[in-house]
Structure 1
Amino acid sequence: FTPASRAVTESRMSPQPSTSNLGNDEDDFPLFEAFHEDDKVFDDDPDPRGWRESLRVVEVNTCRDINMPKHRTQAYDTEYLVIRRGQEFVLRVTFSRPVTPRDKFKLEFLIGASEPVSAPFSHRPGHVGSWLLLGITPQADTIVGKFRMYVTIVTTRGLQRTKRDPDTDCYILFNCWNSEDSVYYPDDEGRQEYVLSDVGAIYMGSKETLLSRDWVFGQFDRGILDACIYILDASRMPIRNRGDAIKMVRKGSALINSQDEDGVLVGNWSENFSGGTAPTLWTGSVNILLQYANTGSPVRYGQCWVFAGVFNTFLRCLGIPARVISNFNSAHDNNGNLKIELIFKSDGSADERNTHDSIWNYHCWNEVYMKRPDLPPRLSGWQVVDATPQETSDGLYRCGPASVLAIKEGQVGHSYDAPFIFAEVNSDVHYLTRDKYGNVISVYVDKTLVGRGLFTKHILADTPDEVTSTYKHPEGSPDEAKAMVTAQGFGLERDDGQVELGKDVDLVVEFQSKSDTAQTVKALVTCAVIFYTGVLSNRFKSEAVEITVPPNKSESPLSMRSDQKAQVDDSLAAERGLPAGPQPPAQGRGRFWTRRSGRAKREADAGALAAPQVSGIQAVGQDMFVNVSFVNTFTFPLHNITLAIEGPRTMTNRKRFYKYARPLPSGRACVLTRAWVCVSASSNLKPPSTGRNPSSRK
């Protein structure tokens, strides 16, 4: 779009930038706007028929059936036209009489309360009688949002506009198919997955045991596009900045969490989710975004994968290629020195009061694909953005966009927030102990624990795709050392088996002496349930041992089996891991090593959740029946169980609560079964883009 005529723009100039897109549905202009004397149009051959016989607009048809398939937007459940910038769309305008070369008219588009812009157009083949088919191509950097449209006839006296008609409104989105757009993606499979796919998977657990949580992004569901624009309006983001992909994702990163500006989601990492929904019960983004848009109040509650899932919906809905990344053993380095310092007391127990850094069992963030005109060209491509409120950036809780390649190469001096992300995947873990005099002593440094693996959903397949090599070079390689030295130049400093819930833990502690004399060791072995963020929940085993290890020998003085009931907390709502192992340091002379065990499977796998069974007529406009079964496979009862199910554009989030599920009696499982009836699909709904069944989640 290009600027409108001076007569129009001068009359609409505002001293304050417009920040509201959806709140301007009133009449924008008078139907007739007289020219000023110096703008008067002089016609050597004025129309002798006069004003009443001049050209009038009878109808404007947005040609949705033609435009939306070509723009790949037909999946949006809306009655309005949805198009992508940088690509031509057509309008059919019917006039009161055939148009002659003497007739002058133009198309005007308005977004928010800002000045209108005139759109150049071309006459397309298909002129029949009094209607014309017009072709319009928005520029590749056009503002993204909802536009109002007018056809304006230029007469000798002034401008005669069509009446405000909501049916001619249109949405303009980013266009990853256009090479001139800042979010251009180079191949069609990637566009299909990262923009058009409305369901996906988010990975949890550990690198050794990847656990997949299905997530309904639902970016095409009714009301979601308006909800995403509402988020931008709520942040008071100037409309003139909404064509800039960098500013859009940075603002979105801040507004998906409610830490600063009453954004979408309230974070909660406690065990108390009263007054809201436990994060594990969300099955998709749709209910969250619609609730926020309808109430204007933050939705309770979310954790990292919920923030990432909702942010992914926001990005894909606006046309920005995006995917969810899971980083296993993700460091939260509070002072940015590439050291995760875990402090232990002299008896070997954790010093929680003085330990400020943490390691998350996993952490989820997003990547967006875009050009970075503010960086060297090679640093364009995938960029990290994170909506989970961890640290502030320019005064708000947000993170990114930061170039993934820059992080891999240690080029952390570039915008935005690259040092924090670099530390999340590259920090060293320092085990420290405080002696009886208060001195802090380093006992052991683990250089490989953090950033063990990064995964996302594979393109067009329901399998994980490891992307660790895009973030970091192989541990110990010359390239990895070079990247670390590069990062230090920007001010950064650098100095197992599986456990399953409901099953006994066999823990063997081995001490190895590399001394030529016998050594006496005193150690404290502690087992605790922790949140996936590394925060301790409760300790269920603590045992002190003392052993003399012969010269150059190994001894295993402790073999412990934990009580299975102690491993499971009263509520299975929180995501947790279960580390078990000796807490450093081991007291005594000589050099000893300790090793921590792996993580437990998360509580969501505390039973068998069968794939939903769909019956009935699977067709648009027909009811379907969905049957979900959950089996308690433990040998102890489960309490407070919620079954939830959701399907993109077929079923909103439904829940059913059960107070109790019996344990396995005599080899037989307790089965909880619930049948739902899908909401009847309206005739204008399109089938899900992937054809997958509705996803369910305990």
Structure 2
Amino acid sequence: MDNMQQTIYSINGTTNGHCRLKSMNFEIPENSISHETQGLSRNRLVVRRGKPFKVTLKSDSWLWNPCAESLVLEVCLGGLSKRIPVLFYEEQSHPQLYDWKATIYPGNMHPQSVIIHICAPVQSSVALYELLAHIETRRSRKTYVLGTFVLLCNPWLKGDPVYMPLDAHKEEYIKSDYGLVYMGSSLNVSKRPWSFGLYEPGVLEACLKLLEFSPQHLTDKNKDYTLRADPVYLSRVVCAMINCNDDLGILEGKWQGSYKNGVKPADWSGSADILLRWASSKCRPVRYGQCWVFASVLCTVMRVLGIPSRVVTVFNAAHDGNGNMIIEEFYTRTGEKFGVSKDSIWNFHVWVECWMRRPDLGAGCDGWQVVDPTPQEKSEGIFCCGPCPVAAIQHHWLDARYDIPFVCASVDADVVRLIVHNGLVVGKTVDTECVGKLIYTKSIGSDKPENLKLTYKPDKRGNTSVCGRTLQHQGTMSPNLNVTLKIVGVPKLGEPIHICVTITNQCKNPRVLVGHINAQVKEYDSSPCEAFWDAQTEVQIQPFSVTTLNHTISHFKYQSFLAGDDIVNLAVVLKDMRTKETFLAAEEFSISPPQITIQIEGGNSIQLKKQRTVLVSFTNCLSTALYEAVLTVQGAGLLEGKQVAKIILLQPGEKIEKKVSITATSPGTKLLMATLSHSNNPNIIARWYHKVSVTA
């Protein structure tokens, strides 16, 4: 065979009379349905490993003589290739999961065409393959370039490491193009719809390009191609490529300052725009992202590649700088928090869970894995995190790969709050419940949240220790006085904030307490700024009794300090005038923005390419007029560009509205987004999202 004469043909439009193979049909519609890949590409075959797909070869005469010639297919991946002899069904041995097969079934061989069923091994690499056909004799070989196809993971196949048994789960975590990101604070959770954009033109190609531009691929293409069969490897490569900290990654992060050189993270509503911008810009990073943007784009890429994924929000997520599972926070005697610790707690942090088996760790670590693309710490030299088994986090198996200690601290560290005066600690509380207060993801088939907290954290009720750490419930250095702080109701912009401090005296002596309570503004991932409101209090409390203190912060006090999605940090410090003991309670919460109303004529389900009218309106519920109010409406796949309404002065109770016409260009779930900005405080913007279901 080494000395045979080889002739190579392209069958795309060839008129060479010596070319017996005239055309090839990838049977894209039929294969797409069979492989659950409808919509991922309009003109390219996309199939899943371990499941046969069929191709049809056509010629003007007999394609080949099985008695004198061999028909061999060849799949090529960079410098790697695999020859696949085409065999009749009767010649095939028992099916093998670990080798390529090409089979002609009875009735599929015709004088001028042949249907071949090709099956990739279940452990094949995820990539864009080239397919060749060879017609060989002992002296010659005719080679035909048939085209390319994309091979993905297969969560429908039991032998695949990403196999997911329940259809409802696959529908939600693989095929769904719509998701929710939970944000805000544990006391006031908000949800933001997100369009994953799996089926937008060019997204599949952008995901494949991401793999081709990874450091691993640029360093050693063949090694990278080989390792791409493993979802653990794939998830680490993709995770690192979502941020641009040490590669040609997709997103540049920014958490403070001006965003004028890019898009403010809060203004993104879907992954497709981000991926397509990156792919069309010679791999320059897209500006800007924060945790929920990084995570949502990662979720898109993983679903496209065939790995079940979901976006998860941890409320009160800890960043443990020294790895001791303790987060220290420092307060003054007046309750003002100051940022001198390397540790921090984000009001919320968003990452992704990916579903896969972990043969490197054992069956106990199979299932959901945390993969976090937000660049915080390096993992084995690169800015990524995971995959980290959720089961290992729950059981504190700290030696398991990858990044278990860091993720454990994110959901289960203890918070030690220290009151400091003149360099000395004069009071202390330990809170074992604050971190990982809620862990939310979107429920299957519903917009309601599912709380995953118990899958991450052991139930501490009744326990005295977990993993060697002594647990103390929230309290002070004295067990005889308990102070709690509660926000009454759900704070809304333009309305007062009502605060209730409850003091329980559990000793036989009366107490005289003098204290301070104050409020500070902070961004969700940073330390608070200077206090914008404070109050002093003095209270006498009898033995074994409970008293409450009620305070109100008017909206005039806070609205000029808030910016965008800021959080309010509230703290109360009480001092016993007799014993000199100091007590602290703290809480953080977000303030809900005013609502924008979006009404679609005829309901929220629309037909493809049928025009509908939408009325978008905002009523000023504040007690002050809004100057230069601008109402903006946009929606990918529904509207061309942005539609804007403006009014110079929007008085209290007055309404601004915009009527727009929408036409859906593709089926699936789409999002309309409306924003209201004004010049009173340019950073205070109301945002509202509306889900639109598009049917063909």
Alpha-carbon contact 2:23-2:58 (below 8 Å) kept: yes
Q: Deviations over 1:183-215 (max 9, x none)?
A: 100111101110000011111223443322111
AA aligned opposite 2:569: P
The answer for the alignment partner of 1:367 in structure 2 is 353
Matched, 1:578 2:563: no
| Contact kept in structure 1, 2:251 and 2:288, CA below 8 Å | yes
TM-aligned CA deviation for residue 671 of structure 1:
2.4
Q: 1:72 deviation in Å? A: 0.8
Q: Decide whether the 8 Å contact of 2:74 with 2:81 is kept in 1.
A: no
| Counterpart residue identity of residue 609, structure 1 | T
2:103 to 110, 116, 122: 122
2:595 counterpart letter in structure 1: G
Q: Is the 8 A contact 1:214 1:695 kept in 2?
A: no
Q: 1:308 aligns with which of 291, 295, 298?
A: 295
- Corresponding residue of 2:256: 270
Partner residue, 1:462: 447
Q: Could you tell me how far 1:569 is from its partner in structure 2?
A: 4.7
CA distance in 2, matches of 1:56, 1:534: 68
**Aligned to 2:55, which of 59, 80, 91?**
91
Q: Which residue of 2 aligns with 1:209?
A: 188
* Alignment counterpart, residue 389 of structure 1, candidates 357, 362, 375: 375
Q: Work out the CA distance in 1 between the residues paired with 2:553 and 2:605.
A: 51
- Could you tell me whether the CA contact under 8 Å between 1:348 and 1:524 is conserved in 2? yes
Letter in 1 for 2:617: S
| 1:121-175 deviation line (CA, Å, top 9, x unaligned) | 1103332222100011000111111112111111333432114x6xx32111110
Candidates 99, 117, 139, aligned match of 1:135: 117
Among 517, 536, 552, the residue aligned to 1:561: 552
1:150-229 residue pairs with structure 2 within 5 A? 150-163=132-145, 168-229=147-208
Change (3 A) 1:355 1:642: farther
Question: 2:243 & 2:630 partners in 1: Cα distance?
Answer: 27
Q: Does 1:600 align with 2:564?
A: no
Percent identical residues: 28
1:587 to 1:179, Cα distance in 2 relative to 1, 3 A: farther
CA distance in 2, matches of 1:538, 1:186: 52
Cα 1:54–1:284 change in 2 (3 A) is closer
Letter in 1 for 2:566: R
State the partner residue of 1:406: 392
Q: Which whole-Å CA distance do the structure 1 matches of 2:505 and 2:3 have between them?
A: 88
Q: 1:547-587, CA deviations, whole angstroms, 9 ceiling, x for partnerless residues?
A: 6656656666x754324134235775x32222333157778
Task: Give the match's secondary structure for 1:328.
Answer: strand
Counterpart among 610, 617, 624 of residue 629 in structure 1: 617
CA distance in 1, matches of 2:50, 2:44: 19
2:461 corresponds in structure 1 to 476
Choose between structure 1 and 2: higher strand proportion.
Answer: 2
Report how far residue 614 of structure 1 moved. Answer: 6.8
Deviation at 1:617, TM superposition (A): 11
Distance in 2 separating the partners of 1:154 and 1:560: 88
**Contact 2:645-2:658 within 8 A present in 1 as well:** no
Counterpart Cα distance in 1 of 2:502 and 2:470? 37
Q: Are the equivalent residues in 2 in contact too, given 1:515–1:590 (CA < 8 A)?
A: no
AA of the residue aligned to 1:636: T
Q: Counterparts of 2:161 and 2:209 in 1: how far apart (Å)?
A: 23
Letter in 2 for 1:471: Y
Report the residue type matching 1:567 in the other structure. Y
Pick the aligned partner of 2:71 from 105, 113, 117. Answer: 105
Distance in 1, Cα, partners of 2:639 & 2:359: 40
CA distance in 1, matches of 2:204, 2:575: 54
The answer to which of 120-129 and 629-638 deviates more is 629-638
Of 522, 526, 536, the match for 2:518 = 526
In structure 2, do the counterparts of structure 1 residues 529 and 633 end up closer, same or farther at CA, with 3 Å as the change threshold?
same
Structure 2 residue aligned with 1:643: 632
Q: Partners in 1 of 2:43 and 2:448 — Cα distance?
A: 35
Report whether the alignment pairs 1:76 with 2:40.
Answer: yes
Q: Which residue of 2 aligns with 1:491?
A: none
Alignment partners' CA distance in 2, 1:659 and 1:250? 46
- TM-score (structure 1 length as normaliser): 0.82
Which residue is 2:89 aligned to? none
Where 1:169 maps in the other structure, the secondary structure is: strand
The yes-or-no answer on 1:424 pairing with 2:405 is no
Residue of structure 1 aligned with 2:658, choices 669, 673, 679: 673
Residue 541 of structure 1 corresponds to: 533
* TM-score of the two chains, using structure 2 as the length reference: 0.82
Could you say which residue in structure 1 is the equivalent of 2:8? Answer: 31
The separation in 1 between residues aligned to 2:645 and 2:530, in whole angstroms, is 26
Instruction: Tell me, yes or no, if the aligned pair for 2:419 and 2:428 is still in contact at 8 Å.
Output: yes
CA distances 1:221-260 after superposition (whole Å, capped 9, x unpaired): 1100111111122213322222210011111111111222
Q: Map residues 280-299 of structure 1 onto 2, 5 A cutoff.
A: 280-295=266-281, 296-299=283-286
Listed as ranges, the gaps of 5+ residues in structure 2 are: 11-15, 85-99, 217-223, 472-485, 675-686, 689-696
Amino acid of the residue matched to residue 74 of structure 2? E
Give the whole-Å Cα distance in 2 for the aligned partners of 1:281 and 1:250.
27
- Structure 1 residue 597: Cα displacement: 4.1
Q: CA deviation at 1:96?
A: 4.1
Summarize the Cα distance change of 1:404–1:612 in structure 2 as closer, same or farther, 3 Å threshold.
farther
Amino acid at match of 1:141: Q
Q: What SS does the aligned partner of 1:292 have? A: helix
- Cα distance in 1 for partners of 2:29, 2:316 equals 48
Residues 56, 153 of structure 1: 8 Å contact kept: no
Gap change, CA 1:617 and 1:313, over 3 Å in 2: closer
2 CA distance for matches of 1:645 and 1:77?
A: 25
Cα distance in 1 for partners of 2:576, 2:237 equals 48
Contact 2:355 2:369 in 1 (8 A): yes
Other-structure match for 2:227 = 241
Q: Is the CA contact (8 Å cut-off) linking 2:181 and 2:191 kept in structure 1?
A: yes
Between 1 and 2, higher relative CO (CA 8 Å, sep ≥ 6) is seen in 1
Distance in 1 between the 2:116 and 2:468 partners?
A: 58
Bigger shift: residues 216-225 or 453-462: 453-462
Displacement after TM superposition at 1:271 (Å)? 4.6
Is the contact between residue 427 and residue 584 of structure 2 (CA under 8 Å) also seen in structure 1?
no
* Inter-partner Cα distance in structure 2 for 1:367 and 1:616: 30
Distance 1:429 1:653, change over 3 A: farther
| 8 Å CA contact retained: 1:216, 1:646 | no
Q: 1:513 to 1:282 in 2, by over 3 A?
A: same
How far apart in 1 are the matches of 2:671 and 2:261?
Answer: 31
Are the structure 2 counterparts of residues 147 and 508 from structure 1 closer, same or farther at C-alpha, using a change threshold of 3 Å?
same
Q: 1:655/1:390 Cα in 2 relative to 1: closer, same or farther (>3 Å)?
A: farther
